[in-house]
């Protein structure tokens, strides 16, 4: 007897909501596109002012960039884009993907502008559990921050860099590890291995979470492996748990809220690091 599969779209919310409810509307790709457009612009402008030389840099050395953003640029470079054009094409790729998903989802294009205020509040609130988890697992202040004098220009520059890169990480890490990777794994597990949807979701979440954590410490580029952040058990565990959190959030709330939550977590974490740093330096 053949098995029937209850297939939901894998590009976006995997858990259905009531039609035209707030959660259903804000999980649509059109909402993600409009909401994240500001973040995309801020990241492009911010990274240019922080590192204006990146527009002419080759893709040989990935250090100093958001790794997921670097991977997107590498893929675009492979398709024939120049190094300079990859900086413009990367955010355009996000826009094109979300527009394509909106077309294929056949969902309504109408938006309620008040929903975006609620989305912002939701993203900030959803970032708080990760802040608490990070404080529990990572209590020590880094030696590099402790060596800086309070209120220094360097510390202020660090805050700006952390905020800008945090915005980029929120968008492009969610693009790579949730929107693309979970979609690929769901198709693989359901269409190739013929697993039930609940099993496919479980393994997709776990694999995406572990790879998300690993890539912060070791990542592949240009035919070789690079070392990222120094490896500790607490850092790896936190990022793996954060990966599970984001993956579950993606399954329940879709791409827009997940990327927004990730970006706001990075912003809040950067501000809190600065506040703790100033207090401890006094």
Of 118, 167, 117, the closest CA to residue 270 belongs to 167
The pLDDT assigned to 102 comes to: 94
Does residue 58 lie within any of the structural domains? yes
Q: Which residue has the tokens 């572990």?
A: 210
40, part of any domain: yes
Mean pLDDT for the stretch of residues 88-106 = 93
Per-residue pLDDT at 20: 80
Convert the pLDDT of each residue in 156-193 to its tens digit: 677 888 899 999 999 999 999 999 999 999 999 999 99
Q: How confident is the model at residue 38 (pLDDT cuts 50, 70, 90)?
A: very high
Please indicate, yes or no, if residue 14 is contained in any of the structural domains.
no
Q: Which domain holds residue 172?
A: 22-281
Who has greater pLDDT, 116 or 234? 116
Closest to 263 in 3D by CA, of 94, 56, 143, 62: 94
Please state, in angstroms and rounded to a whole number, the distance separating the CA atoms of residues 177 and 19.
27
Tell whether 12 is covered by a domain: no
Q: Is 57 exposed, middle or buried (0-12, 13-18, 19+ CB in 10 A)?
A: middle
Is the residue at 17 inside a domain? no
Q: What is the pTM of this model?
A: 0.84
Whether the predicted pLDDT of 13 surpasses 70: no
Angle between helices 233-281 and 114-137 (to 10 degrees): 100
Q: How many domains does the chain have?
A: 1
Q: Is residue 189 part of a domain?
A: yes
Mean pLDDT, rounded, for 60-88: 82
- Tell me if 243 sits within 8 A of 18, measured CB to CB: no
* Nearest of 61, 50, 74 to residue 162 by alpha carbon: 50
Helix residue ranges, H only, the chain: 22-26, 29-50, 67-78, 83-105, 114-137, 143-146, 153-174, 181-187, 197-214, 233-281
| 96-106 mean pLDDT | 93
Q: Are 111 and 24 in contact (CB under 8 A)?
A: no
Average confidence (pLDDT) over 74-95: 90
pLDDT band at 154 (very low <50, low <70, confident <90, very high): very low
pLDDT at 277: 54
Express each pLDDT in 189-208 by its tens digit: 999 999 998 899 899 999 99
Per-residue pLDDT tens over the stretch 213-238: 999 988 877 777 888 788 888 889 99
- Ramachandran sector of residue 186 (left: φ over 0; alpha: ψ -120 to 50; beta: rest): alpha
Query: What's the distance, CA 11 to chain centroid?
Result: 15
Rounded Cα–Cα distance for residues 116 and 49 (Å):
28
* Average pLDDT of span 126-135: 92
Question: Does residue 225 sit within a domain?
Answer: yes
To the nearest whole number, what is the mean pLDDT of the chain? 82
Question: Do the domain assignments include residue 5?
Answer: no
User: What confidence score (pLDDT) does residue 231 get?
Assistant: 87
Could you read off the pLDDT of 260-282 as tens digits, one per residue? Answer: 999 999 999 999 888 775 434 45
């Amino acid at each position: 007897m053949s098995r029937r599969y209850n297939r939901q779209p894998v590009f976006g919310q995997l858990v259905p909501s009531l039609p035209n409810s707030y959660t259903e509307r804000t999980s649509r790709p059109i909402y993600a596109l409009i909401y994240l457009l500001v973040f995309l612009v801020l990241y492009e402008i911010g990274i240019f002012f922080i590192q204006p030389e990146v527009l002419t840099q080759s893709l040989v050395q990935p250090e100093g960039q958001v790794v997921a953003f670097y991977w997107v640029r590498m893929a675009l470079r492979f398709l024939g884009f120049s190094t300079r054009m990859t900086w413009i094409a990367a955010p355009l790729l996000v826009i094109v993907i979300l527009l394509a998903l909106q077309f294929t989802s056949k969902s309504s294009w109408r938006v309620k502008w008040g929903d975006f205020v609620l989305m912002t509040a939701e993203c900030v609130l959803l970032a708080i559990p990760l802040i608490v988890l990070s404080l529990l697992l990572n209590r020590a202040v880094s030696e590099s921050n402790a060596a800086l004098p309070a209120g220094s220009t360097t510390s202020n520059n660090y805050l700006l860099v952390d905020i800008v890169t945090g915005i980029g990480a929120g968008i492009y890490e969610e693009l790579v590890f949730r929107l693309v990777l979970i979609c690929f794994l769901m198709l693989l597990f359901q269409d190739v291995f013929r697993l039930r949807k609940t099993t496919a979701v479980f393994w997709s979440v776990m694999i995406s979470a572990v790879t998300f954590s690993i890539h912060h410490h070791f990542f592949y580029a240009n035919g070789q492996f690079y070392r990222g952040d120094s490896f500790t058990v607490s850092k790896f565990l936190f990022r793996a748990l954060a990966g599970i959190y984001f993956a579950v959030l993606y399954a329940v709330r879709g791409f827009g809220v997940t990327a927004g939550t990730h970006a706001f977590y990075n912003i809040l974490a950067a501000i809190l690091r600065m506040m703790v740093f100033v207090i401890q330096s006094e």
